Amino acid sequence: MKKKDLLKADLLKTKVEHVSLDTFNPVPLIEAMDKMAFQARNTARAAQIYEMMLKEKDCAVILCLAGSLVSAGLKKVIVQLLENDMVDAIVSTGANIVDQDFFEGLGFRHWQGTPFVDDNVLRELHIDRIYDTFIDEDELRACDDTCKKIADSLDPRPYSSREFIREMGSWLARKGKNKESIVLRAFEKDVPIFCPAFSDCSAGFGLVEHQYRNGLVGKPTMSLDSAKDFLELTRIKMDVKETGLFMIGGGVPKNFAQDIVVAADILGVDVGMHKYAVQITVADERDGALSGSTLKEASSWGKVSTTFEQMVYGEATVFFPLIAGYAYHKKAQKGRKPRRFAQMLELSPAARG
């Protein structure tokens, strides 16, 4: 092995392992936090609201994912929420779904690293850094390439990100090397996954190459229709009585999931606001940006009801397992039935475009 390869192997040595909700029971801690102040109390209230939305009959739970969650060891929590029917639809950044989850489904891993390192050295070694986590860039290219292959195999028409991600799930079911996967489990459970900015990830690289190479030889190509994403998610809102949002981070997933209330209204369908809403974030409201905007502010827009909403100011690797684990160990999922929204969307003629 060359010196460079040795160094690379040395840096990519300790795997990121995914925390499991079965490992710990946060219920006693959360119950104590409920009687305290600041973020402890906010966390407890958020956990209770997530429990409430799960226990309410006819309430669909939409999980929003932003930030580097899967690479940070939160994949299994999301897989467990899927397996236990604790989430009915997912809206995510592309990175979590493709670069991180699908990537691991292909058999690759994330590595424990450090922020105290020379990024120029990492680049030379083809190591990508996410704060204190390392990724093998060569493996990411293999992930991009798999997305291109999937695109090449599809009919040349507009797809919602959900449809494409479903194809990724099908691919993993057939050829995946790591069965603990959000994309795979969602495929099996018919839970739709939306990435409203889907070109902004590894899939985007695959699709760009698909369109470019086929464009050069005049072949028709598939396309990504983000308006279709919006219409499909709005259909879910129109299909259920109540909805609750469990948002990890802000960004496009937060805005997109909140907006479907307004979209349904524009389509002339009278739906209620999101009845429940919880957001874990470190963003600040004082810069006026969406990620840190309060759920109370969202209420002025007619998107979220203020009765059961809670912002939690904290970082997801710590707060997401606590809140999800509380509902899980309180067995809020008991008796909950899978909604299989993906089936509904597949059958909807308008959704097929």
Residues contacting a copy of itself: total by CB under 8 A: 115
Binding mask 105-144 for a copy of itself (x = CB under 8 A): -----x-x--x---xx-xx---xxxxxxx---x---x--x
* Binding positions for a copy of itself, 229-248, rule CB under 8 A: 229-231, 234
Instruction: Quote the tokens at residue 93.
Output: 């950044």
Is residue 43 part of the contact set for a copy of itself (CB under 8 A)?
yes
Sign of the torsion formed by the C-alpha atoms of 182, 183, 186 and 188: negative
- Distance, CA of 25 to CA of 30 (rounded, Å): 10
Q: Which helix (H) or strand (E) holds 64?
A: strand 59-65
CA-only gyration radius of the chain, Å: 20
Contact residue for a copy of itself among 2, 38, 174, 337 (CB under 8 A) = 38
The catalytic residue positions are 303
> Smaller CB distance to a copy of itself: residue 107 or 158?
158
Q: Which residue type is seen at 214?
A: N
- Distance, CA of 241 to CA of 231 (rounded, Å): 17
> Smaller CB distance to a copy of itself: residue 5 or 284?
284
Q: Is 201 helix (H, G, I), strand (E, B) or coil?
A: coil
Residue with tokens 């680049």: 123
* Binding positions for a copy of itself, 272-301, rule CB under 8 A: 282-291, 293, 296-297, 299-301
Instruction: Quote the tokens at residue 34.
Output: 């409920």
* Binding positions for a copy of itself, 54-93, rule CB under 8 A: 66-68, 71-74, 93
> Smaller CB distance to a copy of itself: residue 25 or 170?
25
The CA distances from residue 175 to 146, 168, 202, in Å, are 11, 10, 18
Rounded to a whole number of angstroms, the minimum distance from the CB of residue 337 to a copy of itself is 28
> Smaller CB distance to a copy of itself: residue 85 or 229?
229
